[in-house]
Amino acid sequence: MTKQFTTANKDGLSSPSRRLMLTGCGSLAVTASLAPWITWSAPVDRSQGDLFAFTAPTKHDLVFALALSPRPFGQTEREPLTVRLHAGASCWMVGPFALQDSEDVLPDGTCLFTGQVRRTTSNGARAMAHLIAVATSAEQMPPGSLGVWAEILGAGAVRWRIGNPVVSHLLADDARLAQLHAALHPAMDVQVLSAAIARRIAALPTGGLGVDSQAHAKRLAALILPDTLQFDPARPSGYTFAGLNGRRAEDVIEPVVQTVLVGAPRPGLGARCYLAASQFPYFAKAA
């Protein structure tokens, strides 16, 4: 396995990190017209990837992770993927890798894990997912809320983004909007996507919210864009009805997403979560 692990932030970039920022983390104006080399497959199925951000249960670390289905986006087990995991101004790049297992500790104490973990659904079915997880000391991250998101680069210059589960739901069956979203940096989301996302929200049933659908759609679009998972380490972690602040392994997000969008979860809605563990990577590994 060929593996590259790089960190980047806005202060004191090394040459490899600076190249990473220019090609991935800091590309603020990549659109479909400006990035003709980017191609896409089908719209992002929200079951293909899940993003996490939480405070470690046993030490003062912050954990950022991306879980992918065993063959995400149609990739085979032998096709390499590159993942860029962003948290605020920091960016970790792992790849290319072919969904293999690895665990490392970097000189600054940051831990990296890639490998298989377990997830379950509301009907008790068990499945595997491939996890890319980073645990870094809270002291190394700036205070306040962090925008967490991931980009996945596949064969043939295919690119996907994963951020807020609400946005993933809205993109799930809209190929053109998903393609535009894939080509953007989150800094461009509000400018480029607000109107289209608001139209998608307004077209949904409101579940008895009793509000003007257009006004509600504009307000909600403003809250969920840019498409990042917001995480403030000073607040309790979790993507729950009590508060949306990052996401833990055990959080069941589907009912929360439905409630945010239409006021109530759909009857019979399938839900999945991941099995938590007490040690890094804080997800239960495959046996």
pLDDT above 90: residue 212:
no
8 A C-beta contact, residue 50 and residue 133: no
The strand pairing partners of 120, in sequence order, are 126, 273
Q: How confident is the model at residue 262 (pLDDT cuts 50, 70, 90)?
A: confident
Q: How confident is the model at residue 209 (pLDDT cuts 50, 70, 90)?
A: low
Quote the CA–CA distance of 20 and 16 in Å, as a whole number: 6
pLDDT at 254: 87
Region 111-128: what's the mean pLDDT? 84
The residue ranges of DSSP E strands in the chain, in sequence order, are 5-8, 49-55, 61-68, 81-87, 90-97, 102-105, 111-121, 126-137, 146-153, 159-162, 229-231, 238-239, 244-245, 272-274
Cis previous bond, 255, omega within 30: no
pLDDT above 50: residue 35:
no
SS (H, E, C) 185-229: CHHHHHHHHHHHHHHHHHCCCCCCCCCCHHHHHHHHHHHHCCCCE
Q: How confident is the model at residue 1 (pLDDT cuts 50, 70, 90)?
A: very low
Region 15-28: what's the mean pLDDT? 29
Scan for tokens 């979203």, then name that residue: 181
pLDDT at 28: 26
pLDDT above 80: residue 221:
yes
Region 258-285: what's the mean pLDDT? 82
By the 10 Å C-beta count (0-12 exposed, 13-18 middle, 19+ buried), 196 is classed as middle
Token readout for 142 is: 């700036």
Region 236-257: what's the mean pLDDT? 92
